[in-house]
Structure 1
Amino acid sequence: MREKVTAVFDIGKTNKKFFLFDKNFQEVYREYTRFENINDEDGYPTEDLERLKIWLKEVFDRILDAKKYNITSINFSTYGASLVHLDENDEVLTPLYNYTKEISKDVIDSFNEKYGPELDFAVTTGSPVSGLLNSGIQLYWLKHTKPEIFKRIKYSLHLPQYISFIFTGIPVSEHTSIGCHTALWDYTNKDYHDWVYKEGINKILPKIVSTETSINMNYNGKRIKIGVGIHDSSAALLPYIRSVRKKFILVSTGTWSIAMNPFSEEALKASDIESSCINYMRINGKAVKASSLFLGNEYKEQVKKLTDHFQVPPEYHKTIRFDHDIYLEIVKDFEYMYRWISFSDDRMPKLTRIPYDQFEHAYHQLMVELVLLQVESIKTVSGKDNIEKLYIDGGFSDNEVYIQLISHYLRNMKLSTTDSSLGSALGAALCISDVRLNSKFLRKNYALKKHVPVIIQ
Structure 2
Amino acid sequence: MSKIPVTAVFDIGKTNKKFFLFDENLKEVFNTYTRFDPIPDEDGFDSEAILPLRTWMIQTFLDALNSPEFEIKKLNFSGHGASFVHTDEQGEPVTPLYDYLKPYPEELLEKFYKENGGKMAFCQQTSSPPLAMLNSGLQIYFLKHAKPEYFKNVKYCLHLPQYLSSIFTGQMVSDYTSIGCHTGLWDFEKMDYHDWVKKEGIEPLLPPILAGDTLLKTKPELGSIPCGIGVHDSSGALLPYLEQEKESFALLSTGTWAISINPFNKTPLSESELTKDCLQFLSISGQPIKISRLFIGEEHKYQVDEMYAHWNLPLGTYKKMKFDLATFEKVSSFGQKRIGFHYLKPEDYGLGRARQTDWASFPDFEEAYYTFIHELTDIQVASLQLVLDGAPVQRIFVDGGFNANSIFLEMLRIKLPDHEIIPSDFPNGSALGAAMLVNKKS
Establish whether TM, by shorter chain, passes 0.5.
yes
- Which one is further off, 131-140 or 324-333? 324-333
Query: For residue 146 of structure 1, what is the aligned residue in structure 2?
Result: 147
Structure 2 CA distance for aligned equivalents of residues 434 and 178 of structure 1: 22
Instruction: Confirm or deny: 8 A CA contact 2:240 2:426 kept in the other structure.
Output: no
* CA-CA distance at 1:389 after TM superposition: 1.3
The separation in 2 between residues aligned to 1:221 and 1:40, in whole angstroms, is: 31
Distance of 1:107 and 1:88 partners within structure 2: 28
Distance 1:176 1:310, change over 3 A: same
Distance in 2 between residues matched to 1:67 and 1:60, nearest whole Å: 14
Partner SS for 2:18 = strand
1:409 pairs with one of 386, 406, 415:
415
User: Which deviates the most, 254-263 or 325-334?
Assistant: 325-334
Contact kept in structure 2, 1:211 and 1:283, CA below 8 Å: yes
Q: CA, structure 1 residues 171+303, in 2 after alignment: closer, same or farther (shift >3 Å)?
A: farther
- Residue 422 (str. 1) matches residue 432 (str. 2): no
SS at match of 2:92: coil
Instruction: State the SS of the aligned residue for 2:182.
Output: coil
Distance across 2 between alignment mates of 1:23 and 1:418: 23
Mapped contact 1:72–1:223 kept (Cα < 8 A)? no
How far apart in 1 are the matches of 2:305 and 2:35? 19
CA RMSD, aligned part only? 2.2
- TM-score, length-scaled by structure 2: 0.92
> Which shifted more, 41-50 or 232-241?
41-50
- Does the Cα contact within 8 Å between 2:129 and 2:278 map onto a contact in 1? no
* Worse-matched range after superposition: 208-217 or 320-329: 320-329
Native 8 Å contact 2:169 2:219 kept in 1: no
- The answer for the alignment partner of 2:377 in structure 1 is 371
Q: 1:172 to 1:309 in 2, by over 3 A?
A: farther
- Would you say 1:242 and 2:248 are equivalent positions? no
CA contact (8 A) 1:180 1:281 kept: yes
Q: Which moved more, 1:260-269 or 1:213-222?
A: 213-222
Distance 1:352 1:31, change over 3 A: farther
Give the TM-score taking structure 1 as reference length: 0.89
Instruction: Note if 1:185 corresponds to 2:191.
Output: no
Pair 1:171–1:435, CA change in 2 (3 A): closer
| 1:277 corresponds to | 278
1:28-427 matches, within 5 Å, as: 28-218=29-219, 220=221, 222-333=223-334, 335-346=336-347, 347-354=352-359, 355-356=361-362, 358-419=364-425, 421-427=427-433
- 1:23-63 CA deviation, whole Å, 9 max, x = no partner? 11122222333344343333333433233223323332222
Note if contact 1:392-1:418 (Cα within 8 Å) is conserved in structure 2. yes
Q: Percent identity between the aligned chains?
A: 41
Task: Provide the C-alpha distance between the structure 2 equivalents of 1:35 and 1:367, rounded to a whole number of angstroms.
Answer: 34
1:196 is paired with a residue of what secondary structure? Answer: helix
- The CA distance in 1 between the partners of 2:46 and 2:35, in whole Å, is 15
Structure 2 spans left out of the alignment, 5+ residues:
none
The 8 Å contact of residues 84 and 159 in structure 1, kept in 2 or not, is answered as yes
What amino acid maps onto 2:262 in structure 1? N
Matches of 2:346 and 2:92 in 1, distance apart? 42
**Are residues 3 and 220 of structure 1, via their aligned partners in 2, closer, same or farther at CA, if it must alter by over 3 Å?**
same
Supply the distance in 2 between the matched residues of 1:53 and 1:218 (Cα, whole angstroms): 15
